[in-house]
Amino acid sequence: MSVAARLATADGPRLEIVTSEERLAAIAPAWNALWREADGLVFQSHGWISAWWRTTSGRERRNLLIGLVWNGEVLETIMPFAVNRRRGVRILEWAAKDHSDYGDLLALPGWKRDAAAALWREIARQGSFDMAYLNRLLPDAAARELLATPGAAIGLRPNHRSEINYRVAGPWSSGSQWFEQQSKKTRQNYRRGRKFMEETGELRFRLMEPDEPLQPVLARVAALKRKWLERHGHASDLFDEGSHALPALVEEMARLGILHVFVLECAGDVVAVSINLVQRDRMMAFVTTYDPEFERGSPGMVLMMDYIQWSIDHGLRMVDFLCGGEDFKRRFATRSETLGSFVGARTLLGRLALLADGAGHALRSRNAPSQPPAEELAEAVAPARSHR
């Protein structure tokens, strides 16, 4: 059901809240036009969110709640939300949150903040959630200035959780120049890794061609990821056997022309894969994995160093490792960003959940002050991130 009719005004912007899959499909042309005009990231694209909704597990506990601001037939602002019920608490979050690295609204240049603020008030007023948890906000995210607006029906405040985003950017004129500026130990480890793998057979780094079939390599990625997740006690429905989530998201990247799949092959077998995308003149690493049988050769590290050099050689200004403060990303990073989060309660149940979460955070901070914030998520407040 969409409540557009109830929110329509006699003149000026028209507000709509989309809650059905049918209406989501119907607004695709207008959403796509706005996404192109706003130079949006794939994580806020119609195809990405639709692919997530079609393939997500636990549909019975989720609801779409996508806010729109229309000016005539022109879509000017999108707030791509969903509601997730977890342990009895209804949580407003970004749609496709578990598989998206940057959360934000989508708006035309010069967007009308008053109309967007009115939409946010209506989303809060209509009352289908207990609390909001909006995370992975870059420092310049448009949502930051809107969602904390004083006087809103639900005011959001900064939350203690944050995530680190590592990046590689610099004045290198070539990939080889970047390589030579790495430490002696790093360069030696790269060469040793290649030599170890070459003892098995020919080692080949390459970018997959656009017309190559993706299914075999995606099946390989999912199988290797399941092994890694099991070994480390994690889980992600992106890689579940029989899941269509990863193929659907990768297919959307391919349809938009931004997909770049790098593979490292040894004796004809794929030993490492990085599923990347290119937007805004930067290479973004979405999923990376490697074959543990070749762990002594560090195939993941070798592949990463190869695609960093490829990116520089092809004129890209940055390699963006997206979410996650893993050490292998930090090792190569020259810059970092902190991705923030906002929370707010709409009901008594939501306030109690946030109070419990705050108390738990204070206790953990006293007992384990070095614990990374991204690992402190209380299960009742928000699900753990998707491990990629």
275 and 350 in a single domain? The answer is no
Confidence of residue 57 (pLDDT cuts 50, 70, 90): confident
Calpha distance 177→54 (Å, rounded)? 44
Between 364 and 329, the higher pLDDT residue: 329
**In Å, what is the CA distance from 231 to each residue of 226, 238, 292, 294, 372?**
8, 17, 11, 16, 21
Contact 53, 98 (CB under 8 A): no
Which of 143-152, 213-222, 340-349 has the least mean pLDDT? 143-152
Q: In terms of DSSP H, where are the helices of 90-214? A: 113-125, 142-147, 175-180, 184-198
Check pLDDT > 70 for residue 301: yes
Share of residues in the chain with pLDDT > 70 (%): 90
Q: Given pLDDT bands bounded at 50, 70 and 90, which one contains residue 49?
A: very high
Question: What is the mean predicted confidence (pLDDT) over 128-143?
Answer: 94
Helices 299-313 and 184-198: crossing angle, nearest 10°? Answer: 110
User: Does some domain include residue 321?
Assistant: no
Q: pLDDT value at position 246?
A: 96
Same domain, 81 and 112: yes
The answer to whether residues 155 and 11 belong to one domain is: yes
Residues 368 and 240 in one domain: no
* CB contact set of 367 (below 8 Å; sequence gap of 6+): none
- Would residue 382 count as lying in a domain? no
CA-CA distance, 215 to 250, in Å (whole number)? 10
% helix, strand, coil for the chain, step of 5 = 40, 25, 35
Residues 84 and 18 in one domain: yes
Q: Give yes or no: residues 158 and 178 share one domain.
A: no
Last residue of a domain, one of 282, 316, 350: 316
- Residue 150 has what pLDDT? 62
pLDDT of residue 380: 40
Domain that holds residue 176: 170-316
Query: Across residues 178-182, what is the average pLDDT?
Result: 97
Decide if 139 contacts 335 (C-beta within 8 A). no
Band (234; pLDDT cuts 50, 70, 90)? confident
The better pLDDT of the pair 88, 364 is held by 88
- 22: domain CATH number? 3.40.630.30
Q: What is the pLDDT of residue 229?
A: 87
In 3-state terms, what secondary structure has residue 182?
Answer: coil
Query: By the 8 A CB rule, do 386 and 236 touch?
Result: yes
Considering the domain architecture, whether residues 189 and 152 belong to the same structural domain is answered as: no
Q: What is the pLDDT of residue 125?
A: 87
Q: Tell which residue, 11, 106, 50, 57, has the closest CA to residue 243.
A: 57
* Region 252-270 average pLDDT: 97
How confident is the model at residue 149, as a pLDDT? 64
Tell me how far apart the 2 most distant CA atoms of the chain are, in Å. 74
Instruction: Assess if residue 136 is contained within a domain.
Output: yes
pLDDT for 274 beyond 90: yes
Are 371 and 160 a contacting pair, CB within 8 Å? no
Residue 142 scores a pLDDT above 70: yes
Query: Stretch 107-135: mean pLDDT, rounded?
Result: 91
Quote the mean pLDDT of the chain.
Answer: 89
Say whether both 287 and 371 belong to one domain: no
pLDDT over 90 (residue 154): no
Residue 350 domain-assigned (yes or no):
yes
Lowest model confidence (mean pLDDT) among 83-87, 234-238, 248-252, 349-353: 234-238
- Asked if residue 290 and residue 190 are part of one domain, the reply reads yes
- 299/359 same-domain check: no
Q: Decide if 324 is inside a domain.
A: no
Structurally, the chain folds into a number of domains equal to 2
Domain membership flag for residue 145: yes
Quick one: 105 and 176 in the same domain? no
3-class DSSP state for residue 103?
A: coil
Amino acid residing at 88: G
For the entire predicted model, the pTM comes to 0.90
Structural domain contains residue 383: no
What integer pLDDT is reported at residue 4 of this predicted model?
Answer: 46
User: What pLDDT, on a 0 to 100 scale, did the predictor assign at position 379?
Assistant: 45
Asked if residue 380 is part of any domain, the answer here is no
Torsion region of 28: left, alpha or beta (phi above 0 gives left; psi -120 to 50 gives alpha): alpha
Q: Grade residue 1 by pLDDT with cuts at 50, 70 and 90.
A: very low
Q: Residue 363: its pLDDT value, please?
A: 76
Instruction: Look at residue 104 and give its three-state secondary structure.
Output: coil
- According to the model, what pLDDT value does residue 388 have? 64
Together in a domain, 26 and 54: yes
